[in-house]
Structure 1
Amino acid sequence: MFTDLLIILACSLLVIALFRRLRLPPVLGYLCVGLLVGPAALDLISSAQDLPHLAELGVVFLLFSLGLEFSLPRMLAMRSRVFGLGSGQVLLCGAALSGGLWLAGLAPVIAALLGLGLALSSTAIVGKELVSLGEVFSEHGQNAMGVLLFQDLVAVLLLTLVPVAAGQGDTPWYWALPLTLGKTLVLFFGLLLASRWLLPKLFREVAQAHSAELFVMLALVIVLLTAWLTHLLGLSMALGAFLAGMLLGESHYRHQIEADIRPFRDILLGLFFVSIGMLIDLRLFAEHGWTILGATLILLALKGGLVTLLARLRGDDGETAWRTGLALAQAGEFFFALVALMRQQSLLEAPLAGVLLASAFCSMALTPLLLRIVPWLNERPRSSARHESRLEEIAERNAGLMNHVLICGYGRVGQSISRFLQREGQPYVALDDDPVRVEEAGAGESHVHFGDSRRHDLLEAVGIARARLLVVAVNKADTALSIVAQARRLCPELPILVRTRDDSHLEELQHAGANEVVPEVLESSLMLASHALVMLGIPEWRVHQRLDEVRRNRYRLLHGFYHGAQASLLDAQGRPRRLLHAVKLVEDAHACGLCPTELQLEELGLEVQAVRRDGHDLPLEPAPQLREGDTVLLSGPLQAIEAGEARLLSGA
């Protein structure tokens, strides 16, 4: 086993490095490693009997980390996707594929089992790619994850039906199905009780010990213990891991847990893809190449088309529908387990099983490429126009702005300045290159754009020529220098105010054209905001009045900020920061039809900063009645924000 692992990891290191250089998906690289080291090619792996069990843990860790993102309130809000779209996809695709296999000459029972097995998609590949592409929370990403969760439950039910179909099962199917559902409910409520009463105390004790080793160990024990308990119940380990992660997703430790298990997840998931590649016999492609190609294309087209149709009937727009279909078009890893079990029960002949497995493998191998290339090809005829249209869209949205402030960098300092500008009624536009921060801010604000502030075309699109002031609030000194130099070339007379962490680049920035350079040590955000207001011509007495007011209120105006992908959630003393978080009310959200005061969010330590509807702030007095599509902007500590989001979405 040691030698096998060494060979796999060494080959993976070389192949994945090459694939990253070629900008190809890592998943495809792992599958190729499996093909190369497997018995059908170089035969470097003699007997890796324990590899599938080890590799399956990769899927367990992946589903656990996805569960951390899809907390219980979010899943309750997604129930129409899980049970509506999920059940429709399994039934429709299963019926179509079963009918096709029956027409091809298979027995009805065998065709039904194989058709339902092919109807299920690859949780590992789709989940991994959606995470890599940052599309987990897109509309098509949530559609795909909802359907995949339903498919995991169906996979367990199918495995219980194979012995019954072979006439060897001890339990009839009409007992096997409710028994499996009952076990799932027992597991769910057991994990729910543990997540409410036991796990918070464990994490609190470990956190107080300030030991990273203990925290990692506890996270690993929870994942592995959940998988073991699920396996004992005869259920899918991946489904149990997702349920555990989903319930822990309401915990304020979820970010730390996800960061701790990520290295284990990625390595074990790579082993899983390698093990899938090792199952394929390359000689099949020489003997039945055209048959495998035809079966692969039929599978992708049929499943993708039917899922697209279902998504459109559900009410999704065209792009969301076809991208959902594209994500779910392939066969899944469960199909390999199903075919192996059917071979053991003598329900399937070896030649047919080999062709089916090769076709399923090809559909899985093509998926990472399709998820990346097809959307790009769809945009290709207008790729250059897309870039221009995005700039034109930004330019159009800001065409009416005159004498506004342009903020480059929308971190904590940039957001602090924007709030002072809002209070004074001064228009502003912000640019930032952190997609998470822009997405968070964009949920509640329409004047924050994603992009590299060093690009002259982007600066022109946000109206730098009509701006009254440029504020550079980025973290990196070299980036700030480039922005200042670019802005000075475009607008020689524009006043430029720069924030730096210290004064080490003071002379360089002044030489590049900055009018004022304010190091953070000079009272950071407040000092920078005061310079901005004075440079805009606001009377100094009013500026001092505002600053005194902020200090009297203990900087309440500056409380909370939109955290980005790399932002720390703790301050220098290890205390939780006060954050801003925009919660968009989806269909069936608990808060719809209620007023913010009725939700008693103040009890959780939260402040409702704003309620936005169709891009406009609603007056908070009297309290507005919330409805679907509203965005509620919450301010508070991370734990309180998570609890507030749960109350808004599910009433928990």
Structure 2
Amino acid sequence: MHEFLFAATIYLLAAVIAVPLAARLGLGSVLGYLTAGIVIGPVFGLVGAETQDLQHFAEFGVVMMLFLIGLELTPRTLWDMRHKLIGLGGLQVGLSTAAMMALSMALGLEWRPALAVGMIFALSSTAIVLQTLSEKGLMQTGGGRSAFSVLLTQDIAVIPMLALLPLLALMPTASLKDDGSISRASDHGEAVHSTMSLVEGLPGWGVTLVTLAAVAVIILAGIFLTRPLFAFIHHARLREMYTALALLIVLGIALLMTLVGLSPALGTFLAGVVLANSEFRHELESDIEPFKGLLLGLFFITVGAGIDFDVFLREPLDLIGLTLTVLLIKGVILYLLAVLFGLKGRGKWLFTLSLAQAGEFGFVLLSFSRQQNVLPAGLADRLSLVVALSMLATPLLFILYDLLSRKMGESDPHEPDMIDEQGPVIIAGIGRFGQIVNRLVQSSGFKTVVLDHDMETIRLMRQFGFKGFFGDPTRPELLHAAGLKDARVLVVALDDPSAAARLVAFARRERPDLHIIARARDRTDVFKLYQAGANDIVRETFDSSLRAGRYVLENIGLTNFEAAEAEKVFYHHDREAIRELAQVWDPNVPSAQNPAYVKRARELEKDLETALLAQLEKRQSEDD
């Protein structure tokens, strides 16, 4: 027991020291976790053999992360991504595998182990890349969404790779030397351990049917069993039961996928997509998020702690050279694909630099390759170190991206985000005014889609857990992507009055039935917005001025009720007056020189005075 407590204390202590330091230095949490692992592992030797076992456990952080990502993607959004999944992702996996295979054969490997090496290094780190993209608020950018598409394709590609690896072993009793040549002289006599499996011993068609049945079970259970399960748990009135159910869903699906030979991460991602439209989505997210964060952090620490510095110190230049070669080859392929698929500027460099490393699934393929006698133990150990070193370099590549972004400056503006969500309320502009509206609507349980043209504002929102999309809200394609066709309310809170009027006019033409609420600075803006088609208009200082006026009335003799009634009468009168004045207002003529406007304004002012006096007289008669 004390050994477990000692190891747990060491891991947690390393994390709480290294990660905040890395975050304060602007290096990101991933580099902090990796550094913590290196310090407690290879440097001081505070942890040892348990690291590999912990890594298998911590890989559930990746599984949970993909489940949460799936919750953010509706089936419709996933279908819209099909071209990037198949085209961009498929080309990346295929070209990277071929390039790394060619390099391996040039270094003396036979084609079978060379193909295995190619598949291993074709994959990138889903855990590190998605974690860093989320921290930096880059997930919704063009480069971020393209990187996510490739990572998702890679996770799917792991399945056929695992199926292909056993076919690359020349014979069950043959072994490979470290240089990749074949040794047939001895039988290693390794015991074959049976594992739990639903497809073991089945013919090919049987495996296919069982696999499809497992996928169907996940989809049908997500559609028909989620509501009864949550209703059953609700009767217990225990908060921890919701957490237990969320963990049960993730772990149960991961187990089912393992039993049919599929990737647990792929299965939980599929379940997340099925539940993306569920009313329990936010409950699941809040329950799983803490476990995902801790397990991912533990995974990164084990990667750092698992680096074998003895092997590294024996041939440091060779291993660093191989790592740089992998980064360079993959980087060139990614850059060419970014150009081919139309990524520009920052998005192109983000896509290239974020995916150049090898990934955590590389460790899985390496281990499986050794078990299947595809790669020799010595070669697998060196390749494992190259995978770890390339993952360790990923935070540095993101730092390079930040430097390139700052160097590009305003000459290369950010590409608009790819909008993958729709909701009943669209908020255009998320400054001081829009963010209060957004928080109130979301806290009341309604979904909003936020658009803003200020990238720093969007990043700041994401740091506080509020999702927003970067782009010009006046662009028709962004509004349609945000769900203008089906939205119930549009809130226009832009700083530029002319842009706000254009947006209101466009939205009114597209949706005559849409309720449009707009922000205005003064009466002139109000008139323009009413003429453009807004339903409700809020002047920036109007409500605060009304409240101040009510306080004045309360302190010069009126009761609180009388002051509130006067405020209410003034508010309703002013609202109707503004609507009527908007009918006679002419933007080409100053208001003071517009006879119709002046006449109607005077009439309405007298009406206000009459209404206020009537209200006070009514109150006095009631008191008498």
Q: Which residue is equivalent to 1:330?
A: 357
Q: Is the 8 A contact 1:180 1:235 kept in 2?
A: no
Residue 542 of structure 1 deviates from its aligned partner by 8.4
- Could you say which structure has the greater relative contact order, defined with CA pairs below 8 angstroms and 6 or more residues apart? 2
Q: Which residue is equivalent to 1:374?
A: 400
CA distance in 2, matches of 1:407, 1:295: 48
Correspondence for 1:212 among 230, 239, 245: 239
Range moving further from structure 2, 310-319 or 101-110: 310-319
CA distance in 1, matches of 2:140, 2:304: 29
Secondary structure class of the residue paired with 1:410: helix
Is 1:135–2:105 an aligned residue pair? no
Correspondence for 1:3 among 6, 21, 24: 6
Correspondence for 1:311 among 335, 338, 346: 338
Is 1:106–2:109 an aligned residue pair? yes
Matches for 1:546-561 after TM superposition, within 5 Å: none
Residue 179 of structure 1 deviates from its aligned partner by 7.4
CA distance in 1, matches of 2:236, 2:568: 34
Q: 1:183-224: CA deviations, max 9, x gaps?
A: 553332221111111112223444576643222221111111
CA distance in 2, matches of 1:300, 1:380: 23
Secondary structure class of the residue paired with 2:434: coil
Matching residue's letter, 2:297:
G
More helix, by proportion? 2
CA distance in 1, matches of 2:137, 2:569: 34
Q: Which residue is equivalent to 1:96?
A: 99
Aligned CA distance change for structure 1 residues 181 and 246 (closer, same or farther; 3 Å)? farther
Q: Is the 8 A contact 1:32 1:277 kept in 2?
A: yes
Gaps of 5+ in 1: 391-404, 417-428, 452-465, 472-493, 508-520, 546-652
TM-score of the superposed pair, with normalisation by structure 1: 0.61
Correspondence for 1:359 among 386, 410, 419: 386
Aligned CA distance change for structure 1 residues 407 and 230 (closer, same or farther; 3 Å)? closer
Residue 104 of structure 1 deviates from its aligned partner by 0.7
Q: Which residue is equivalent to 1:80?
A: 83
Q: 1:416-438: CA deviations, max 9, x gaps?
A: 9xxxxxxxxxxxx9999746576
Secondary structure class of the residue paired with 1:23: coil
Correspondence for 1:45 among 44, 47, 55: 47
Aligned CA distance change for structure 1 residues 364 and 407 (closer, same or farther; 3 Å)? closer
Residue 498 of structure 1 deviates from its aligned partner by 6.2
Is 1:277–2:304 an aligned residue pair? yes
Q: 1:11-58: CA deviations, max 9, x gaps?
A: 1111112212222211111112222222x3322124316412320111
Matches for 1:23-422 after TM superposition, within 5 Å: 23-38=26-41, 40-48=42-50, 50-166=53-169, 167-168=171-172, 184-207=211-234, 211-317=238-344, 319-371=346-398, 373-383=399-409, 408-411=432-435, 413=437
Q: Is the 8 A contact 1:66 1:242 kept in 2?
A: yes
Matches for 1:453-472 after TM superposition, within 5 Å: 468=522
Q: Is the 8 A contact 1:312 1:318 kept in 2?
A: no
Residue 6 of structure 1 deviates from its aligned partner by 2.3
Q: Which residue is equivalent to 2:500?
A: none
CA distance in 2, matches of 1:186, 1:298: 42
CA distance in 2, matches of 1:330, 1:14: 26
Q: Is the 8 A contact 1:94 1:112 kept in 2?
A: yes
Q: 1:464-486: CA deviations, max 9, x gaps?
A: xx964799xxxxxxxxxxxxxxx
CA distance in 2, matches of 1:222, 1:131: 24
Residue 411 of structure 1 deviates from its aligned partner by 3.8
Q: Which residue is equivalent to 1:439?
A: 469
Q: Is the 8 A contact 1:470 1:495 kept in 2?
A: no
CA distance in 2, matches of 1:525, 1:268: 55
Matching residue's letter, 2:388:
F
Aligned CA distance change for structure 1 residues 413 and 322 (closer, same or farther; 3 Å)? closer
Matching residue's letter, 1:140:
G
Q: 1:484-542: CA deviations, max 9, x gaps?
A: xxxxxxxxxx9944649998xx89xxxxxxxxxxxxx9999999898688799767898
Q: Is the 8 A contact 2:61 2:296 kept in 1?
A: yes
CA distance in 1, matches of 2:606, 2:38: 70
Matching residue's letter, 1:334:
F
Matching residue's letter, 1:31:
L
Residue 80 of structure 1 deviates from its aligned partner by 1.3
Residue 165 of structure 1 deviates from its aligned partner by 2.3
Residue 369 of structure 1 deviates from its aligned partner by 3.0
Q: Alignment RMSD, CA only?
A: 4.5
Matching residue's letter, 2:82:
R
Aligned CA distance change for structure 1 residues 288 and 414 (closer, same or farther; 3 Å)? closer
CA distance in 2, matches of 1:158, 1:525: 70
Q: Which residue is equivalent to 1:568?
A: none
Q: Is the 8 A contact 2:58 2:295 kept in 1?
A: yes
Aligned CA distance change for structure 1 residues 107 and 259 (closer, same or farther; 3 Å)? same
Aligned CA distance change for structure 1 residues 210 and 411 (closer, same or farther; 3 Å)? farther
Residue 90 of structure 1 deviates from its aligned partner by 1.0
Q: 1:133-162: CA deviations, max 9, x gaps?
A: 222232222222222222122223223333
Could you tell me the percent identity over the aligned residues?
A: 33
Which structure would you say has the larger Rg?
2
CA distance in 1, matches of 2:435, 2:45: 53
Q: 1:333-379: CA deviations, max 9, x gaps?
A: 111222233334454345433432222222212222323x2332223
Q: 1:271-298: CA deviations, max 9, x gaps?
A: 1111222221123343322222222222
Aligned CA distance change for structure 1 residues 187 and 327 (closer, same or farther; 3 Å)? farther
CA distance in 1, matches of 2:309, 2:566: 67
Range moving further from structure 2, 221-230 or 340-349: 340-349
Range moving further from structure 2, 339-348 or 137-146: 339-348
Secondary structure class of the residue paired with 1:249: coil
Residue 73 of structure 1 deviates from its aligned partner by 1.6
Residue 300 of structure 1 deviates from its aligned partner by 1.5
Q: Is the 8 A contact 2:116 2:369 kept in 1?
A: no
Correspondence for 1:15 among 18, 32, 39: 18
CA distance in 1, matches of 2:337, 2:468: 31
Gaps of 5+ in 2: 174-191, 193-201, 415-428, 441-452, 480-489, 497-519, 526-538, 553-563, 583-599, 608-624
Matching residue's letter, 1:380:
R
Secondary structure class of the residue paired with 1:70: coil
Residue 65 of structure 1 deviates from its aligned partner by 0.6
CA distance in 2, matches of 1:51, 1:501: 62
Q: Which residue is equivalent to 1:584?
A: none
Q: Is the 8 A contact 2:172 2:373 kept in 1?
A: no
Q: Is the 8 A contact 2:433 2:493 kept in 1?
A: no
Q: Is the 8 A contact 2:116 2:374 kept in 1?
A: no
Q: 1:285-342: CA deviations, max 9, x gaps?
A: 4332222222222212211221232233234445434422222211011112222333
Q: Which residue is equivalent to 1:647?
A: none
Matching residue's letter, 2:61:
G
